[in-house]
C-alpha cells in the first residue's frame, strides 16, 4: 500500500510532536518523533514517503501538488491543537481527492469520538505511535487494536483503550531517517548542522499534572535496537543526536549501559532531557564521556507549593543541587519553566526569573500553561471554568496566553513573559558568555539566528 507520512503546512512554523503542539519559540524545528518512529513501522510492510511541509517550507498549493504526485492510498498525518483550524481545512481538501486520512496529535487525545463525528474526512485517530496499531488497522484487523479511535462498519465510532497504562518494553523496526528532508530542520543546541531526533523509551513514569506524557505509561526500547538505529545514522554521516526521551536516565542501569556504548563509539555529540533529581553524579559523568553537551531540565517553578500542587516530585532546593551537579560536569543547561498557572502573579514571575539567574542557566525556556488534552490540569481548568470543552486551539509555546491567572489577564501575562525573556537574554555578561563559548562557526551562527528570532518574538 502507498502510505504518506505527512506534517501539514501552516501559516507559522508549528511543532506538532509527541502529543504536544506549539509555535516555535525562536527558529528551531526538529524531526517530528511520531513520524520518525512510524516510518520504521510502516516501511516494514508498505511503500512509504515522508512529506514534512514545515521543514520544506511548503505552502498549501505546493503541499497539495506534492501529495498528488505521490498518489497515496493512505495518509497518516500529524495534527495539532495550535494549528487545528488550519489542519482540518487542509486535510479535508486532501481527503476530497481520494486518500484515506488517519491522524495523530494532541487535539485527538481527548473526545476523539466527537472529533471524528465532526470531521467526516477523518477516518481514524492513532493514540500511540510506538505499537503496531497502524499495521493492524491497515490490515483490516480491528480486533487487534489497542489504542485507536475508529469508524466501525456500521458507522459507529469507537474509542478503543488499552487496559491500564502501557509498561515493559516495546519494539519497532528501525526508523527510516533517510526518508526525511536533508534540509529544513534546525536545533538550537546542536553543534553540527546535520542532526537526528530519536527515542529510546516511550512515555514517562512521572505524574506531573500539566503534562500529557505521563498519561502514556512508560516503556523502554531494547538497547540493541537503539544502537542499530544510531549506527545506521553514523553510517550516513550523522554525529549529532537529540534524544527525545522525556527523562533520560530514569532507568539508571539502562542509561549507564547506553552511555557506555555511545562512549565506545567515540564520535557522537548529543542533547537530552532529564530531571534535576535524576541527574546524579554517576549518570552525568557517564553522559559527558558519551558525548552529551546539553541537558534540558524541568524547573517549572521557584515555588515549592506549586511544585507540590502540580506533582513534580521535587522541591526548589533539589533543583538547585541538580543544576549545580550538571555545571560541575561541564554540561550546558536549559531550564524549562511553566508560567501562567492560575496561581501566577507578577511577584511569582519575579521569583521565577530570579531563580533562572541563580541557576546560571545557559538557556531559558518559558512555556505558557495550557490545559493540554488528557491531563488532570485540563480537567481542573474545565471544572474552574477557565477553559471550555470546545476550546481546541491553544499554543503551549507562549506566543499567546490561553489562561488568565487570578491576578493577571491574558494580555498582562503575555507582556510579562516577553519582558522576562528580554531581561534574561539581553544581559551583557550573558551575551558575552554565549558568544565566547561557541565551539565552531556553525554553533556561533546558529545561536545568533536563534537568539535574534527569539527576541523578535518577544519584543
Indicate whether 375 and 307 sit together in one domain.
yes
Q: Exposed, middle or buried by CB within 10 Å (0-12, 13-18, 19+), for 386? A: middle
Three cell numbers written together for 455: 527576541
The chain-wide mean pLDDT, for the chain, equals 94
Mean pLDDT confidence for 317-339: 96
- Inform me whether the pLDDT recorded for 210 exceeds 80: yes
End of a domain among 107, 140, 158? Answer: 158
pLDDT band at 196 (very low <50, low <70, confident <90, very high): very high
pLDDT band at 27 (very low <50, low <70, confident <90, very high): confident
pLDDT of residue 442: 83
Q: Are 73 and 2 in contact (CB under 8 A)?
A: yes
- Inform me whether the pLDDT recorded for 162 exceeds 90: no
Indicate whether 125 and 192 sit together in one domain.
no
Q: What is the DSSP string of 223-251?
A: HHHHHHHHHHHHHTT--EEEE--SSTTSS
- 349 vs 396: CA distance, rounded Å: 17
pLDDT band at 49 (very low <50, low <70, confident <90, very high): very high
Indicate whether 309 and 433 sit together in one domain.
yes
> Which strands sit side by side in the sheet containing 2-7, from one edge to the other?
47-52, 2-7, 74-78, 100-104, 122-126, 148-151, 157-160
Coil, strand or helix: which one is 175?
coil
Is there a domain that residue 71 lies in? yes
Q: Are 116 and 101 in contact (CB under 8 A)?
A: no
- Cβ count within 10 A of residue 324: 14
Indicate whether 102 and 201 sit together in one domain.
no
Indicate whether 134 and 248 sit together in one domain.
no
Q: Quick one: three-class SS letters along 30-71?
A: CCCHHHHHHHHHHHCCCEEEEEEHHHHCCCHHHHHHHHHHHC
Give the CATH number for residue 256. 3.80.30.20
Is there a domain that residue 197 lies in? yes
Is there a domain that residue 93 lies in? yes
pLDDT of residue 332: 97
Cα–Cα nearest to 27, from 62, 63, 54: 54
Per-residue model confidence as pLDDT tens digits over 101-115: 999 999 999 999 999
Q: What is the distance of C-alpha 412 from the center of its chain? A: 27
- 67 vs 310: CA distance, rounded Å: 43
Coil, strand or helix: which one is 203?
strand
pLDDT of residue 451: 86
Indicate whether 56 and 149 sit together in one domain.
yes
Is there a domain that residue 27 lies in? yes
Is there a domain that residue 169 lies in? no
CA distances from 142 to 113, 153, 172 (A): 16, 10, 20
- Inform me whether the pLDDT recorded for 295 exceeds 80: yes
- 298 vs 96: CA distance, rounded Å: 43
Indicate whether 14 and 139 sit together in one domain.
yes
- Inform me whether the pLDDT recorded for 164 exceeds 80: no
CA distances from 313 to 35, 304, 308, 326, 345 (A): 31, 10, 7, 19, 23
Q: How many CA atoms lie within 13 A of 150 on its CB side?
A: 19
Indicate whether 191 and 133 sit together in one domain.
no
Indicate whether 114 and 210 sit together in one domain.
no
Task: Look at strands 148-151 and 122-126 and give their pairing.
Answer: antiparallel
Indicate whether 131 and 260 sit together in one domain.
no
The count of domains in the chain is 2
Is there a domain that residue 181 lies in? no
Is there a domain that residue 173 lies in? no
End of a domain among 143, 158, 173? Answer: 158
- Whole-angstrom Cα Rg for the chain: 21
- 444 vs 191: CA distance, rounded Å: 9
Indicate whether 192 and 147 sit together in one domain.
no
Long-range pairs for 150-157: beta carbons < 8 A, 24 or more residues apart: 150/123, 150/124, 151/116, 151/123, 151/124, 157/113, 157/116, 157/117
Give the CATH number for residue 100. 3.40.50.2300
Indicate whether 208 and 354 sit together in one domain.
yes
Q: Which domain holds residue 6?
A: 2-158
Task: Look at strands 332-339 and 363-368 and give their pairing.
Answer: parallel
Task: Look at strands 157-160 and 148-151 and give their pairing.
Answer: antiparallel
Percent of the chain scoring above 90 in pLDDT: 85
CA distances from 328 to 56, 273, 284, 332 (A): 40, 18, 9, 10
Is there a domain that residue 175 lies in? no
- Sorted by sequence, the CB contacts under 8 Å of residue 54 that are 6+ apart come out as 7, 9, 10, 13, 14, 16, 29, 184
CA distances from 140 to 3, 134, 136, 144 (A): 15, 10, 6, 9
Amino acid at each position: 500500500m502507498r502510505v504518506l507520512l505527512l506534517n501539514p503546512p501552516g501559516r507559522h512554523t508549528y511543532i506538532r510532536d509527541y502529543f504536544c503542539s506549539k509555535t516555535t519559540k525562536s527558529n528551531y524545528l526538529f524531526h517530528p518523533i511520531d513520524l520518525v518512529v512510524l516510518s520504521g513501522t510502516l516501511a516494514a510492510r508498505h511503500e512509504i514517503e515522508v512529506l514534512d511541509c514545515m521543514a520544506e517550507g511548503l505552502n498549501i498549493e505546493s503541499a497539495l501538488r506534492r501529495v498528488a504526485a505521490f498518489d497515496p492510498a493512505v495518509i497518516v498525518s500529524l495534527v495539532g491543537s495550535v494549528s487545528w483550524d488550519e489542519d482540518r481545512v487542509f486535510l479535508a481538501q486532501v481527503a476530497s481527492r481520494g486518500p484515506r486520512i488517519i491522524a495523530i496529535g494532541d487535539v485527538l487525545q481527548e473526545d476523539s469520538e466527537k472529533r471524528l463525528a465532526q470531521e467526516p474526512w477523518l477516518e481514524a485517530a492513532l493514540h500511540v505511535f510506538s505499537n503496531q496499531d497502524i499495521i493492524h488497522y491497515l490490515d483490516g484487523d480491528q480486533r487487534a487494536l489497542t489504542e485507536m479511535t475508529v469508524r466501525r462498519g456500521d458507522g459507529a465510532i469507537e474509542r478503543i483503550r488499552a487496559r491500564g497504562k502501557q509498561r515493559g518494553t516495546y519494539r519497532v523496526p528501525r526508523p527510516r531517517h533517510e526518508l526525511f528532508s536533508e534540509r529544513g530542520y534546525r536545533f538550537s543546541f546542536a553543534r553540527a548542522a546535520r542532526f537526528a531526533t530519536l527515542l529510546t523509551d516511550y512515555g514517562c513514569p512521572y505524574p506531573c499534572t500539566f503534562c500529557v506524557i505521563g498519561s502514556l505509561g512508560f516503556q523502554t526500547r531494547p538497547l540493541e535496537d537503539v544502537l542499530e538505529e544510531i549506527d545506521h545514522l553514523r553510517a550516513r554521516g550523522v554525529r549529532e543526536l537529540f534524544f527525545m526521551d522525556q527523562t533520560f536516565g530514569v532507568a539508571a542501569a539502562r542509561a549507564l549501559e547506553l552511555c557506555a556504548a555511545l562512549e565506545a563509539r567515540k564520535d557522537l555529540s548529543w542533547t537530552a532531557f532529564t530531571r534535576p533529581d535524576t541527574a546524579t553524579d554517576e549518570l552525568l559523568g557517564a553522559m559527558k564521556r558519551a558525548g552529551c553537551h546539553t541537558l534540558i531540565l524541568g524547573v517549572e517553578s521557584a515555588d515549592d507549593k506549586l511544585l507540590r500542587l502540580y506533582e513534580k516530585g521535587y522541591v526548589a532546593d533539589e533543583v538547585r543541587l541538580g543544576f549545580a551537579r550538571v555545571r560541575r560536569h561541564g554540561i550546558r543547561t536549559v531550564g524549562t519553566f511553566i508560567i501562567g498557572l492560575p496561581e501566577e502573579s507578577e511577584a511569582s514571575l519575579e521569583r521565577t526569573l530570579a531563580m533562572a539567574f541563580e541557576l546560571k542557566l545557559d538557556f531559558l525556556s518559558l512555556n505558557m500553561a495550557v490545559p493540554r488534552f488528557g491531563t488532570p490540569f485540563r480537567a481542573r481548568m474545565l471544572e474552574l471554568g477557565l477553559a471550555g470543552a470546545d476550546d481546541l486551539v491553544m499554543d503551549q509555546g507562549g506566543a499567546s496566553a490561553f489562561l488568565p491567572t487570578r491576578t493577571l489577564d491574558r494580555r498582562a501575562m503575555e507582556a510579562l513573559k516577553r519582558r522576562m525573556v528580554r531581561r534574561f537574554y539581553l544581559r551583557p555578561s550573558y551575551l558575552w558568555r554565549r558568544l565566547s563559548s561557541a565551539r565552531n562557526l556553525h554553533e556561533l551562527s546558529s545561536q545568533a539566528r536563534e537568539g535574534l528570532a527569539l527576541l523578535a518574538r518577544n519584543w
